[in-house]
Amino acid sequence: MTGWLAEVRSGFAELSPSVFPYRRFVLALVLGVMGGALFYALRLPLPWMLGAMTVCTLAALARVPVAAPGVIRSPMSAIIGVMLGSGFSPEIVWQVPQWLVPLGGLVLFMAACGLSVVWYYRRIGGYDWTTAFFSGMPGGLVEMVIYGEERGGDARVIALVHSARILLVVLTLPFIIQFSQGISLDRPVGGISIFDAPLTSELWLVVCCFAGAFLGHVLRLPAKTLLGCMIASAAVHMSGLSDFKPPYEIVNTAQLVLGVAIGCRFAGTAGRVVWRVLALSVGSTAILLFWMTLFAVTFSHLSGFSTVTLILAYSPGGLTEMALIAVALQAEVAFVAAFHIIRVFLTMIAAPLSFRWLGGGRAP
């Protein structure tokens, strides 16, 4: 409890005007709102997240003074986590045995992605072995940066590669689904309006956010705020205590801020480095999307799950972003979220073990 309270106090300290770049953040938010409004007007998928992300990425690459420090992600992740947890129901428990076949596909998919993308960054990108290895692992941005830096890799490049992977997958996949499947992803993601929701919905949202943040800290979960709040919300919904949904205005605001945060990751980095990483990431993303499609189609026939659901479950994008797409599609959110959590955990365990097994820095 003491450690969590210290973390909360540290977070508030980071919001101090002497530390937090409010002017650059406000500029990023304004640009994000403009991008979201443009995407919304054009009826493009997930407009508030993708619009904000696109415009802020372009602004960062153009050296516009934008910034979105990491401290802003936690409260937004908490809201998204609660929303994702609201997609769980008591019936989920009985569906778990049906997940075994697609789970086997996930393991094979991760192996295929890891082998091919590590080779790509080593041979095509010319990175040293350690940097190439942890850049090519399919998931866990923070964990791969830490693992790679501890073993002598270039932490800046690894972080940029994974940021670019998430950016490109999130930017391309919704369009692929929307235009290939004829499914609209431009509708609001979330529950009813804040003006129509009962007061208990907001109270449950606050309770789940605080309880989930504490739970994530205690359990030391990866993406602890998001997953902790998702678990807390899922517990409330699966136990039948409430069936509340966070108001869509709050969810859309969280999407907007998260989109801004992803786009601003490239701010302050030398343009030459960013453009090279983005160029290489186009190739690696194409490899990842190829494997994703192949395994999704194959295991859709073997398991009975829809191809779109498995595409979202196998997608090498971020948990938050893919789950939001699942919500917009009214797909099986619990299934998609669970597979991304499993992917992150497996990557965290397998990456350092595989690196050691391959001989560490002595590998070719």
**Strands (DSSP E) found in 183-321:** none
Q: Which pLDDT does position 187 carry in this prediction?
A: 55
What span, in angstroms and rounded, lies between the C-alpha atoms of 173 and 324? 12
CA angle at 219 for the pair 343 and 350, rounded to the nearest 5°: 30
Q: Which pLDDT does position 110 carry in this prediction?
A: 93
Supply the pTM of this predicted model. Answer: 0.74
Residue 326's pLDDT band, with cuts at 50, 70 and 90, is: confident
Q: Which pLDDT does position 291 carry in this prediction?
A: 95
What is the percentage of the chain residues whose pLDDT exceeds 70? Answer: 91
Type of residue found at 245: K
- Distance between start and end Cα atoms, the chain: 46
List CB contacts of 319: < 8 A, sequence separation 6 or more: 223, 226, 337, 340, 341, 344
Instruction: Please say whether the beta carbons of 114 and 137 come within 8 A.
Output: yes
Residue 361's pLDDT band, with cuts at 50, 70 and 90, is: low
3-state percent helix, strand, coil for the chain, nearest multiple of 5: 75, 0, 25
Q: Which pLDDT does position 34 carry in this prediction?
A: 96
Type of residue found at 254: A
Largest CA distance in the chain: 61
The 10s digit of each residue's pLDDT in 77-128 is 888 888 878 877 777 767 778 889 999 999 999 999 999 999 999 999 999 9
Q: Three-class SS of residue 123?
A: helix
Q: Three-class SS of residue 173?
A: helix
Burial code of 159-196, b = ≥16 C-beta within 10 A, e = fewer?
bbbbbbbbbbbbbebbeebbeeeeeebbebbbbbeeee
